[in-house]
Chain A
Amino acid sequence: MADSSPDVAENTDGNGGEDRRGFVTRLMAVICGGIAGAVPFFSGLVVILDPLRRKAGGKGFLRVTTLDSVPDDGIARYFPVVTDRTDAWNRYLDEPIGAVFLRREPGSDELQCLNAICPHAGCFVDFNIPDKQFQCPCHDSNFDVGGTRINPEACPSPRDLDTLEIDPQHLKEGEVWVDFKNFLAATPDKIEKQ
């Protein structure tokens, strides 16, 4: 303001009160207008952010099939996971909510359970029986029969297929109950979807 004209300087000197009032007026205009606009906007924003508040939470162990349905031939088999499903305002009884691959080694009573969703971008993997490989049809991630990435350096997936826990008690009784969960795609860590 070093080279401000004398006119302006005089004006400022002479009308200090008016200037202050001018500032208050402008401030009030911005505040009033801002509030008037912000209230409807934020009331909408709160509603649209509702999903952040909800926690899906696991459904606990779900019955998937019987041990007899998984022959001990080392081949991974696809099983849908069926339970009640809620979609916003609708509740569906006994609907497939996802799928797992179950596999049993020859002579073993132990089961391996993998979520059928590829950890890369969320497509369903297929099990290729001749090659004994899991293959993702979307971006060509390949996993061996145990769900481990065949070539981690060249595999688009950031982690191996997600293993799921099987309830040992039910397994002894010949039934397969799985703690079914979905995990975030595209992350190196296995983070449960909320």
Chain B
Amino acid sequence: MNNLLAWLDDRTGYKALIEEALYENIPGGSRWRYVWGSTLVFTFSVQVITGLFLWMCYSPSSRSAWESVYYIQYEMQGGWLLRGIHHFTAQAMIILLVLHLLQVVIDGAYKAPREVNFWLGLVLMQIVLGLALTGYLLPWDQKGYWATNVATNLMVLIPVIGSDIQNVVVGGPTYGHATLTRFFALHAGVLPGLLILMLGLHIAVFRRHGIKAASLDKRPDQKFWPDQVLKDAVACLAVLVVILFFVVRGAMHEGPAGEPIESRIGAELGAPADPANPYSAARPEWYFLFLFQFLKYFHGESEVLGAIVIPGMVMGMLFLMPFIGRWKLGHGFNVGLLVVLGIGVAALTGIAMVEDRKDETYQKAVDTAEEDGARAIELAQSPRGIPDVGATSLLRNDPKTQGPILFTRHCASCHAHEAPADHGNGDRHSISPRAPSAPDLYNFGSRDWITGFLDPVQIDQGTRFFATTSHKDGDMVSFVKDTLTDPEQWTKQEIDAVITALVAEAGIETLDPNNQKLQAQLEQGRALLKDTDRCAMCHKFYDENDDAYGPDLTGYRSRQWTIDFIKNPSHERFYGDNNDRMPAYGKDVDNPRNNILTQREIELMVDWLRGDWYERGQSTTQEATE
């Protein structure tokens, strides 16, 4: 064995190499304060290892990036752990970098003969920040998409070639496939390659000059191996423990019922990026928050100062530190500069956080973003899964998400949708215009709604039913107030029967087929609806009374009835000439492009109004049952 090793050493010289690596002299012996550089090398190694494994599972295109990251996080075993380590190690690296820089400057280790190594360190810092910026976009979720969008938009501020640089980095005028292929190549290839090169030089130059002894006390020198290596290893382990703590931290509290645990552990994944869906909660990662806040203070044309000139000057000052340090007071100046910068960065970060905490609009946007993210995961995990057109379509085709948006945009200037506080679908589902003039459509078509509608007390009170439309003084109101209240004409039992029959038409609540009493009621109600002396005097019901002037009660408030109504409320089947102000949203059958809303949008809104959307645990989705 010894012979073999001797032969190998003769041919390769490996022993000298190991000797040089392990038996470096440390003047004054090993110390805990020398561990920071090693923890940085360690965290970078963690990023290379976890990054390579993530690479094996990631697909950079605008139709597969979010999808593959979702798959890593929620479907692959231990995916959350791998992502979590990569995510939090990146943040640990930033903190360690700052500590390392602080120590180097305070100890004066940037001064001759170590200037070049100091500069190499600053270059390494830029590369790490570049890795952080490019990595933020790769999951292609709303947060990363919009935050990175701001960063690349500001590239225009670079004089002369700014917009060209932006165009090349983004891969075109808008974000898309090319942006991801470029960012991924930078993140996984170019920047790590440069980093390894610079790190090699950094360590080589460091070995050339040796460690900058912390103090001149008379402790004996030691070799790097094993005393300092042990301290370094313990420090690396401690860093890893902190990282792992952050990875699993979310498991300590309970999430909403049914939410998978992967939503709380590892790294966050928001809703898939949607270029048409504004994201009001866009913020950079916490370590860039100070820059974000700094930018708020520069207005209009002075922006270039805040975004480029001043940060550039600060970096320039850091590069000049070795020269400044030559003067008598130079070192003090450098340390002071760093302290001022540190306080400035901390203050800006603090202000940004406090302002956001106080900003209700922002907090609401964060809530919305979290709801959207959770909903996207819920839909991705539904039996229907992620369709081939990509995950963006999940929320775009979800009645629960789109309903409130479409309703607010097209209906809420007249209609309210006042959901009670405990309805369980989030704040967004309760929409109240300032002065509703038309019916409140919450729970519309339910037994509760229809019962209230046929109640002489409720029908013309407040804005739940006819509100301030002309129907408020119409025949239906006088019928409910005068005729229905006369027990000679309508018994309580008959009114209940009509309610049950209408509930059955709407089909939102299912009637128990085994409930004899209910079925008898249903039959009686249908007979009353068809009776030309009763309901069918004014309303059509199936084949009864084709000339009715009131709305057709066939399939009243069912999905199809409501879709058709929204398309054209002035149709003779509905209000005809008596329609009061409600626009026709989809009248033009031959030329759908002329309509205000598309067929799909109307369907989404109607499904939302009817509470018909996929919820976790359902075996089929609404689309699948169509």
Contacts and interface: CB of A to CB of B under 8 A. Distances in A.
Contact of A137 (B276, B292, B365, B593): B365
A51 B156 contact: no
B278 A188 contact: no
A123 B282 contact: yes
Chain B at the A interface: mostly helix, strand, loop or mixed?
helix
B613 to A, nearest CB: 21
Nearest to A151: B299
Contacts of A49: 168
Interface in B360-411: 361-362, 365, 409-410
B150 A138 contact: yes
A110 interface: no
A137 B583 CA distance: 32
A66 B307 CA distance: 41
B281 A137 contact: yes
B517 interface: no
B154 A185 contact: yes
Interface in A61-80: 63, 65-66, 68-69, 71, 73, 75, 77-78, 80
B146 interface: yes
A153 B299 contact: yes
A100 to B, nearest CB: 11
B92 interface: no
B156 A187 contact: yes
A92 B279 CA distance: 22
- Size band of the interface chain B makes with A: 35 or more
Interface in B218-271: none
Contact of B362 (A71, A75, A137): A137
Contacts of A194: 163, 167, 173
B178 A88 contact: yes
Given A73-B413, A140-B296, A188-B301, A68 B596 contact: yes
A156 B299 contact: yes
Nearest to A56: B173
Interface residues of A, number: 56
B133 to A, nearest CB: 15
A48 B300 contact: no
Question: Which one of B150, B164, B170, B300 has the highest number of Cβ atoms from chain A below 10 Å of its Cβ?
Answer: B300
Interface in B130-152: 146, 149-150
A65 B596 contact: yes
Contacts of A138: 150, 282
Contacts of A124: 278-280
Interface in B152-183: 153-154, 156-157, 163-164, 167-168, 170-174, 176-178, 182
A96 interface: yes
B189 to A, nearest CB: 12
Interface in B275-301: 275-276, 278-282, 292, 295-296, 298-301
A172 interface: no
Q: Which 5 A-B pairs have the closest CB atoms?
A: A124-B278, A96-B276, A137-B280, A87-B176, A122-B153
